[in-house]
Amino acid sequence: MTSSPAPGVCLWFTGRSGSGKSTVTRALLPHLERAGRVVTVLDVVPLLEKAPGERTSEGKLLRKAFVASEVVRHGGIAICVTVSARAHTREAAREMVGSERFLEIHVDPPTEVARARKDARGRRPTLRKRLKLLRRRAGMLVRGSGGVTHESPIAPDLRIDSAVTPAEEGALAIVRLLVERGFLPDPEGGGAPPTDGLSDGPSDGEV
């Protein structure tokens, strides 16, 4: 008798720019592929970026959530790598995908660590971003995505402090979460990954 295929799920990564979301995602992919899952990564997707006239990132995030919902509906794993600073946008994405198939992963190093990583990329900012930085330094904007402070999830399914948790350990923690929720089979002889800098949710949502 063959077992039923594992259901689809959306892993919604949220966290400040430079927090390490993409790095954890790259570490996670080989584990999911070895488990035989079809994975779609929605990180920087030009066709889903902000349309002309859109003043916030909400539209592109909801488009990303819609694509994820279709991946999940067909039994795949969708990994959405986002800043998604506003809590109400993340909740709208959860509703679009379905709360039982939506896992919120908060990658949350200290602000100064995320800022240093972002600065180390060495990318020259666009004129719009340079003007925004000047306004921010003048006290006209708060730091965040689009001038918006990142609203940390109160009770994410998993919180990873990437300043103390290597990407591979963070990936293993996500694998464990997927096994616990029934989205991956329990690997034979699989031990629990280290938990320093990790917090399961939504029981308390604290590190």
Domain ranges, ordered by start, for the chain: 9-200
CA atoms of 184 and 151, how far apart (whole Å): 30
Is it true that the peptide bond before 166 is cis, omega within 30 degrees of 0?
Answer: no
| pTM attached to this predicted model | 0.77
- Using alpha carbons only, what angle is made at residue 14 by residues 154 and 69, rounded to the nearest 5 degrees? 105
Residue 205: the pLDDT is 37
The answer to whether 69 is a known catalytic residue is no
Residue 130: the pLDDT is 61
Tokens of 21: 């979301």
CA atoms of 160 and 162, how far apart (whole Å): 6
How many C-beta neighbours within 10 Å does residue 29 have?
15
Q: Split the chain (207 residues) into runs of 10 and give each run's mean pLDDT.
A: 77 92 96 94 76 74 95 97 94 97 94 74 59 57 55 94 94 97 78 52 42
Residue 79: the pLDDT is 98
Residue 144: the pLDDT is 45
For 113-145, b where at least 16 C-beta lie within 10 A, e where not — what string?
A: bbeebeeeeeeeeeeeeeebeeeeeeeebeebb
Residue 40: the pLDDT is 96
35-81 pLDDT, tens digit each? 999 999 998 776 676 666 666 778 889 999 999 999 999 999 999 99
Residue 121: the pLDDT is 64
The single residue of 19, 84, 162, 199 carrying the catalytic annotation is 84
What kind of fold does domain 9-200 have according to CATH?
Answer: Rossmann fold (3.40.50)
Residue 127: the pLDDT is 57
Q: Where are the beta strands (DSSP E) in 66-144?
A: 77-81, 102-107
CA atoms of 156 and 105, how far apart (whole Å): 6
Residue 115: the pLDDT is 77
Residue 133: the pLDDT is 59
Residue 44: the pLDDT is 78
**DSSP letter string, 61-83:** HHHHHHHHHHHHHTT-EEEEE--
Coil, strand or helix: which one is 156?
coil
